Structures are given as structure tokens and as C-alpha cells.
Amino acid sequence: MHCNGNKRSAICVSSGIEPRLAFGMIETRKIYTENCLETFKRMADGLVDMTITSPPYDDLRDYNGYHFPVEEIAAGLFAKTKPGGVVIWVVGDRTVNGDETLTSFKHAFAFREAGFRVHDTMIYVKNNPIPSDCGKRYRQAFEYMFCFSKGQPKTFNPMTEPTKSGGQKIKAFRITEAGRGNVPDEDIGREIKGERKVNNIFAYNVGTSSSGDKIAFSHPAIFPEKLVEDQIRTWTNTGDLVYDCFMGSGTTAKAAHLLGRNWFGSEISAEYVQIANSRLSEYLGRECMPASA
Ligand SMILES: C[S@@+](CC[C@H](N)C(=O)[O-])C[C@H]1O[C@@H](n2cnc3c(N)ncnc32)[C@H](O)[C@@H]1O
């Protein structure tokens, strides 16, 4: 099983996912209906290749004022992540009384404190943010996608795009006697590559065009499916183990499964687990995801 590259339109060509592999006390293809801190207790250290998740952060009023223990969660994820594994943490800030919460930054510092390095601060731009006035500020249209890594990431399958000048020769643009400084002499005349890595700003549709699964929208805050696909492809290979500690409607499970990765998750709400399981039932027999736009 392999994916044929990781261009924006890459197609996963086959899958060999094993049903319900047990990783110690963890079963794959399962969402544990519990606080993720409880799931951590079931997990062996160094188990997971990648976690991709979006925490409940500034929604705490929906959880009866329950303190979100980000330090404990970051420490738990550090212990459970393989050396070279990553956590993709998708988080935005609310504005409360005209003041941004900066929760995203508090989380980033907590992950660094737990031992992770902040490998890449990516941005997820919403093509179609919810229309709102926002007073004397611009419309809020992005969230952070932090890549926290346990050391140097062991896997990186970058997404690429065509370059404008692919095949042409690198020229010197000397504007001073010392040269411009950004084209070393030895590179002059070298052929420009036809592909380059995309930059770290990713744009996705949100709302009803972000998933074809109607049932997923019974959850109020789902990931765009394409976001999860792109990140899983980038940081894992087939057969790797992907975890989501806040599984919600099961977007991570769907993408991981259809990309031939093993997966499991935690979700504290039994209602959301039911929604996710019902959403996933359509896909668990299916092998691989067609290329999505
Ligand atoms: C932002 S939503 C995640 C949505 C998900 N990415 C999706 O695509 O559907 C956060 C979820 O975390 C769950 N949650 C909150 N605290 C939790 C905890 N301590 N352990 C597990 N799940 C938790 C909430 O019930 C909520 O469904």
C-alpha cells in the first residue's frame, strides 16, 4: 500500500488496513467514550505516530466551566507519541469583550513545556468564514495548525505544486558588487525544479461543503475533511497509527481509515460518539479515498 506522491491531487492507490489491530490495551478502529486522560492510561508510551485534533479550548462555558487541562493533555500526548511523531493541534482564539483570548499561544507554550518542539506554525484559512460584522476589526478567517514534534519528524511527505519557471536555468540578479547574496555562485545555471513544496498556509471550505456526510453536521465544530487528509498524508505513512483525543464527529477516523492508516480516538460525549460511529459505518468496509479537490 502506498500513496503516489503527495501533490494536492494525490490519489491513494491501495490499502491494506488490518481490522481492529490491538496495540496493547488499545484497539484500533474504536472511539473510546471517555475523557482522553483516561484513554492515555490505556496507551503504552511511544505508541502513536500522529495525533491530529482540535481541542474544545474557548468553548468551556459549554462544559460547565470545567478547566481545560492543557498542560496535562500536552504531557500525556508527549509520553504517548513515538520519537519523531507529531501532534497537529488546530486551534483558534475567541474575542471576549474586545480582547483576543490568545488561547492558541497558551497551548503552544504548554506543548513546548511538555517536551515537544514547535516544528511548524501553519495557518488554516477558511475560504468561506461565517459572515459576521466583527466591529472595528477584519473578519476572523483563520486558525492555527501547530505541528508539535517529538524531536525531528520521522516522516514528511510534503505536498507540492508546479513552479512557474520549472526547467529554466537559475540566473544571477546581481545588484551590488557583492551580488544579491541569495543565489550562491554554484547555483547559477542550475535547472529550476518543476515542483516545489507548498507554503504553510492552507485554505479550506468550511460548513456544508467541508464534508459530504450530512450526519457529521450534527456536531457543531467539525474539521474540513481535506485538512485532515492533507495533514495525515504529510506526517504519516500507510499502516501508521493516528489518534484524535477529541474525536467529535469522527473526521480524523474517516480520513485515516480511507488513507490506510490505523486509528483510534477519544470523545467524552456519548452522543458525539454515536454520531461518529454512524458516520463511519459507511466507510469502514471501504479501502481508499478518491482524490478530493
Ligand atoms: C472541536 S470538537 C472536535 C471536532 C472534530 N475535530 C470533528 O471533526 O468532528 C472538540 C470535541 O472534544 C470533546 N471533548 C472535550 N473535552 C474532552 C476530553 N477531555 N476528552 C475527550 N473529548 C473531549 C467535545 O465533546 C467535542 O466533541
197 Cα: distance to centroid of ligand 1 (angstroms): 31
Beta pairing partners, 197? 160
pLDDT for 13 equals: 35
**Does one domain contain both 56 and 86?**
yes
Residue 13 falls within a domain, yes or no?
A: no
From 129-143, 178-192, 207-221, the region with the lowest mean pLDDT: 178-192
Q: What is the predicted pLDDT for the residue at 97?
A: 87
Comparing 59-73, 107-121, 197-211, which segment has the lowest mean pLDDT?
Answer: 59-73
Residue that wins the pLDDT comparison between 284 and 224:
224
Q: Are residues 152 and 204 in the same domain?
A: yes
State the pLDDT confidence band at 123, using cuts at 50, 70 and 90. Answer: very high
The Å distance, Cα 39 to ligand 1 centre, comes to: 14
Given a contact cutoff of 8 angstroms between Cβ atoms, the answer to whether 141 and 131 are in contact is no
- Could you tell me if the CB of 118 is within 6 A of ligand 1? no
The answer to whether residue 5 sits within a structural domain is no
| Cα separation, 190 vs 174, whole angstroms | 16
Instruction: For cell 488561547, name the residue.
Output: 103
Q: Is residue 17 part of a domain?
A: no
Ligand 1 pocket test: which of 68, 227, 247, 254 has the largest number of ligand atoms within 8 Å of its C-beta? 247
Residue 56 CB–ligand 1 contact under 6 Å: yes
Q: Which carries the bigger pLDDT value, residue 61 or residue 151?
A: 151
What proportion of the chain, given as a percentage, has pLDDT over 70?
A: 83
Q: Residues 129, 155: one domain?
A: yes
Whole-number mean pLDDT of the chain?
85
Instruction: Count Cβ atoms within 10 A of the Cβ of residue 184 and give its class: 0-12 exposed, 13-18 middle, 19 or more buried.
Output: exposed
Query: What residue has cell string 466591529?
Result: 135
- Give the residue whose CA is nearest to atom 7 of ligand 1: 222
Q: Is residue 229 part of a domain?
A: yes
Nearest residue (CA) to ligand 1, atom 15: 56
Ligand 1: does its nearest atom lie under 6 Å from the Cβ of 223?
A: yes
The confidence score (pLDDT) of residue 177 equals: 56
Residues 98 and 226 in one domain: yes
Cβ atoms of residues 276 and 248 within 8 Å: yes
**Measured between alpha carbons, how far is 55 from 36 in angstroms, rounded to an integer?**
11
Pocket test for ligand 1, best of 267, 278, 279 (most atoms within 8 A of CB): 267
User: Domain check: are 48 and 183 in the same one?
Assistant: no
Cα 178 to Cα 149: distance, rounded to the nearest angstrom = 39
pLDDT of 267 reads 96
Structural domain for 50, as ranges? 29-159+199-281
* Residue 36 and residue 119 in one domain: yes
**50 with 155, same domain?**
yes
Given a cut of 80, is residue 198 above it in pLDDT?
yes
Amino acid at position 254, single letter: K
Residues listed for the chain: 293
Q: Are residues 221 and 83 part of one domain? A: yes
Q: What is the mean pLDDT of residues 8-13?
A: 35
Look at the chain and report how many structural domains it folds into. Answer: 2
Report CA(275)–ligand 1 centroid distance (Å): 13
269 lies in some domain = yes
- Distance, CA 132 to ligand 1 centroid (Å)? 25
For strand 195-197 and strand 160-162, is the pairing parallel, antiparallel, or unpaired? antiparallel
State whether the beta carbon of 249 lies less than 6 angstroms from ligand 1.
Answer: yes
pTM of the model: 0.86
